């Protein structure tokens, strides 16, 4: 018995140097016998699932530094799995499935941990996707599973559905149905939460101290400066100063990028400079010595910008002048690190029903001794899932209490859309809508044509023509663009519902076009919470709200 158990322990032990892909550390360990055979060979052995997580894997983001290190990306979670394997063998248990969340914090509310959610699902159903029974879970510490009260409650609820299951740490197995263990782990949960808050505060204070002292940003060196981020790298800084001067004079950013190629200059990551990147470089406050933080200039007690200790590329006057040559959404203070985007470009959406679905989970809140209930009603977004039947699910990241099968939802949305289009076809009448500014456009075009005719006949001098013509040309161009957008929208609205349905079924619509149809038909689609233990997708959980 002990020899076989040692063999399985070896199969569950991570190698000394793990590969760079942490995906290799997910799923059934290599060399493990099939479920029926393993149960027959070890009828009295606990079968455990192992969880490993690291909040910040710097090796995953800094490949250059990782190349010179003995550790590679994913090595941290590999070490945790190796310790899990040894601890499982010490307790006479066998690991039958691994769950790994690499480079994912557990202390932020908006971070989804896919393998943690998959682990909870498998705990609730009592077996792994391969069919191995689950007698408990093992990890290197309680805080790997939990850093918030919500996570710990979900975990305890899932593991205690079977009272015989245990939670293993290096200290030994814990019975989370026992009152003493609940109290002990609850205290640890509070300690972990406080430690997480303390760590965040220390990091925030460290950054604030650097800002007030005028020290440069941490991280990779900025273009134009050496590795110390204080002294100038002449070839780059001279180009940046020249680019700022030429941009103020009216040169196109692409022309400046072409000059950087002629000078054989690249960015700090060895890529060619492109207009967006160079715009960020020229409009960053650091070029004139100012310190910025999260999209705002940092001011001192006298309401003056804090000046850093690094060498400068240009003057504050020139920095303000070059910023004025760009739109508000293009400058560093609008698009720099940590700042919100104001360009109007939406975040890329990968799933059909994202943000259309609305969570209907009822949240209980206590205030002044009274318990009230409210509907969450937050948008639900798609996320990948470790399931062949539902490779992705729609979840509510606000309450984290409501999830539904993605493929089933998309299929049901398509059925509802096609049924609605079929019904709308019976009463459809195309309406011709005229663009309201057509007369204004014609007047501007006639005025420009008349001016050009007078200029051709030498009735208008060159200076007057070149002063009056450009504004008219810009106005005409803008109006024509508005007309084109109006006509496109009108054509879309006047398209017969049958034609829309045919294009949908024929695959002529991409994801963005399908979502546009959805949002024209639905005001929202409400998603009712599912029943615990019921894994069958239920379309009746969807309640459409028609426009």
Q: Which of helix, strand or coil describes residue 438?
A: helix
Task: Average the pLDDT over 59-64 and give the result.
Answer: 52
Q: Which of helix, strand or coil describes residue 159?
A: helix
pLDDT at 328 over 70: no
Considering only CA atoms, give the Rg of the chain: 31
pLDDT at 6 over 60: no
pLDDT (0 to 100) of residue 419? 93
Backbone angles phi, psi at 497, to 5 degrees: -55, -35
Q: Which of helix, strand or coil describes residue 256?
A: helix
pLDDT (0 to 100) of residue 321? 85
pLDDT (0 to 100) of residue 473? 87
pLDDT (0 to 100) of residue 181? 78
Q: Scan for tokens 């969570």, then name that residue.
A: 359
Task: Average the pLDDT over 341-357 and give the result.
Answer: 69
Q: How many residues are there in the chain? A: 547
Task: Average the pLDDT over 496-522 and give the result.
Answer: 86
Tell me the C-alpha distance between 75 and 408, whole Å.
Answer: 37
The bridge status of strand 136-138 relative to strand 94-102 is unpaired
Q: Which residue has the higher pLDDT, 522 or 190?
A: 522
CA 94 to chain centre: 36
State the number of CA atoms in the 13 A half-sphere of 123 facing the CB.
29
Q: How confident is the model at residue 201 (pLDDT cuts 50, 70, 90)?
A: low
pLDDT (0 to 100) of residue 291? 84
Least confident of 10-14, 233-237, 432-436: 10-14
Q: How confident is the model at residue 178 (pLDDT cuts 50, 70, 90)?
A: confident
pLDDT (0 to 100) of residue 404? 93
Q: Scan for tokens 């054509």, then name that residue.
A: 491
Q: Scan for tokens 């040309």, then name that residue.
A: 473
pLDDT at 278 over 60: yes
pLDDT (0 to 100) of residue 231? 93
Q: Scan for tokens 């034609």, then name that residue.
A: 499
pLDDT (0 to 100) of residue 304? 79
Task: Average the pLDDT over 10-26 and give the result.
Answer: 48
Backbone angles phi, psi at 424, to 5 degrees: -70, -25
Residues pairing with 47 in the sheet: 94
Alpha-carbon distance values, 83 to 60, 164, 383 (Å): 21, 24, 30
User: Residue 3: exposed, middle, or buried by beta-carbon count in 10 A (0-12, 13-18, 19+)?
Assistant: exposed
pLDDT (0 to 100) of residue 2? 42
3-state secondary structure 27-64: ECCCCCCCHHHHHHHCCCCCEEEEEEEECCCHHHHCHH
pLDDT (0 to 100) of residue 443? 93
Q: Which residue has the higher pLDDT, 144 or 525?
A: 525
Residues pairing with 372 in the sheet: 365
Query: Which residues, including other chains, have CB under 8 Å from residue 484's CB and lie 6 or more apart?
Result: none
CA 516 to chain centre: 22
- Provide the mean pLDDT of the chain: 81
Q: How confident is the model at residue 286 (pLDDT cuts 50, 70, 90)?
A: very high
Task: Average the pLDDT over 219-235 and give the result.
Answer: 90
Least confident of 88-92, 158-162, 198-202, 225-229: 198-202
pTM: 0.38
Query: Which residues, including other chains, have CB under 8 Å from residue 79's CB and lie 6 or more apart?
Result: 14, 18
Q: How confident is the model at residue 202 (pLDDT cuts 50, 70, 90)?
A: low
pLDDT (0 to 100) of residue 14? 37
Q: Which residue has the higher pLDDT, 181 or 404?
A: 404
Structure-block tokens of residue 125: 């159903």
Task: Average the pLDDT over 430-440 and give the result.
Answer: 84
pLDDT at 197 over 50: yes
Task: Average the pLDDT over 329-350 and give the result.
Answer: 60
Q: How confident is the model at residue 332 (pLDDT cuts 50, 70, 90)?
A: confident
Q: Which residue has the higher pLDDT, 304 or 206?
A: 304
Q: Which residue has the higher pLDDT, 10 or 102?
A: 102
What is the percent of the chain where pLDDT is above 90?
34
Q: How confident is the model at residue 12 (pLDDT cuts 50, 70, 90)?
A: very low
pLDDT at 526 over 60: yes
Helix/strand/coil percent split, the chain, to 5 = 45, 15, 40
Please check whether residue 224 is in contact with residue 272, taking contact to mean a CB–CB distance below 8 angstroms: no
Structure-block tokens of residue 237: 């800084």
Query: Which residues, including other chains, have CB under 8 Å from residue 368's CB and lie 6 or more apart?
Result: none
363-409: pLDDT as tens digits: 888 777 788 889 999 999 999 987 878 899 999 988 888 999 999 99
């Amino acid at each position: 018995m002990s020899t076989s158990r040692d063999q399985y322990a070896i199969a569950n032990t991570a190698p000394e140097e793990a590969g760079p892909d942490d995906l290799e550390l997910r799923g059934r360990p290599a060399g493990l016998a099939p479920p029926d055979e393993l149960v027959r060979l070890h009828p009295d052995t606990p079968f455990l699932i192992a969880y490993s997580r690291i909040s910040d894997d710097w090796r995953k983001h800094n490949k250059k530094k990782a190349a010179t290190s003995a550790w590679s990306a994913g090595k941290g979670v590999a070490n945790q799995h190796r310790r899990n394997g040894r601890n499982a063998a010490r307790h006479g248990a066998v690991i039958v499935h691994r769950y790994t969340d690499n480079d994912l914090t557990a202390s932020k509310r908006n971070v989804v941990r896919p393998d943690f959610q998959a682990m909870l699902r498998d705990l609730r159903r009592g077996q792994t996707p391969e069919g191995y029974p689950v007698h408990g879970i093992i990890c290197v510490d309680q805080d790997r599973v939990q850093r918030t009260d919500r996570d710990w409650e979900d975990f305890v609820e899932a593991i205690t559905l079977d009272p015989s299951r245990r939670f293993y740490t290096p200290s030994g197995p814990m019975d989370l149905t026992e009152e003493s263990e609940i109290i002990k782990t609850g205290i640890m949960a509070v300690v972990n939460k406080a430690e997480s808050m303390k760590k965040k505060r220390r990091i925030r204070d460290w950054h604030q101290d650097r800002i007030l002292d005028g020290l440069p940003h941490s991280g990779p060196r900025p273009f134009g400066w050496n590795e110390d981020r204080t002294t100038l790298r002449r070839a780059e800084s001279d180009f940046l100063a020249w680019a700022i001067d030429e941009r103020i004079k009216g040169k196109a950013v692409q022309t400046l990028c072409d000059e950087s190629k002629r000078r054989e200059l690249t960015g700090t990551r060895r890529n060619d400079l492109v207009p967006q990147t160079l715009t960020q470089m020229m409009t960053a406050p650091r070029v004139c010595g100012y310190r910025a933080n999260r999209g705002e200039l940092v001011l001192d007690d006298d309401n003056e910008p804090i000046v850093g200790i690094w060498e400068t590329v240009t003057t504050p006057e020139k920095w303000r002048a070059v910023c004025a040559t760009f739109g508000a959404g293009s400058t560093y203070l609008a698009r720099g690190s940590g700042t919100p985007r104001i360009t109007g470009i939406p975040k890329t959406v990968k799933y059909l029903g994202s943000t259309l679905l609305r969570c209907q989970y009822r949240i209980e809140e206590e205030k002044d001794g009274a318990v009230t209930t409210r509907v969450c009603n937050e948008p639900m977004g798609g996320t990948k899932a470790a399931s062949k039947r539902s490779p992705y699910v729609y979840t509510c990241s606000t309450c984290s209490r409501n999830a539904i099968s993605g493929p089933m939802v998309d299929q049901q949305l398509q059925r509802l859309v096609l049924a609605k289009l079929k019904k709308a076809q019976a009463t459809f009448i195309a309406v011709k809508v005229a663009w309201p500014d057509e007369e204004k456009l014609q007047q501007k075009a006639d005025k420009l044509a008349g001016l050009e005719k007078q200029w051709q006949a030498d009735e208008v001098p060159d200076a007057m023509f070149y002063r009056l013509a450009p504004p008219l040309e810009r106005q005409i161009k803008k109006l024509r663009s508005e007309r084109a957008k109006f006509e496109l929208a009108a054509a879309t609205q006047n398209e017969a519902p049958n034609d829309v349905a045919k294009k949908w079924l024929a695959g002529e619509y991409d994801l963005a076009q399908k979502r546009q149809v959805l949002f024209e038909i639905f005001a929202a689609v409400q998603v009712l919470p599912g029943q615990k233990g019921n894994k069958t997708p239920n379309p009746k959980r969807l309640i459409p709200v028609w426009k």
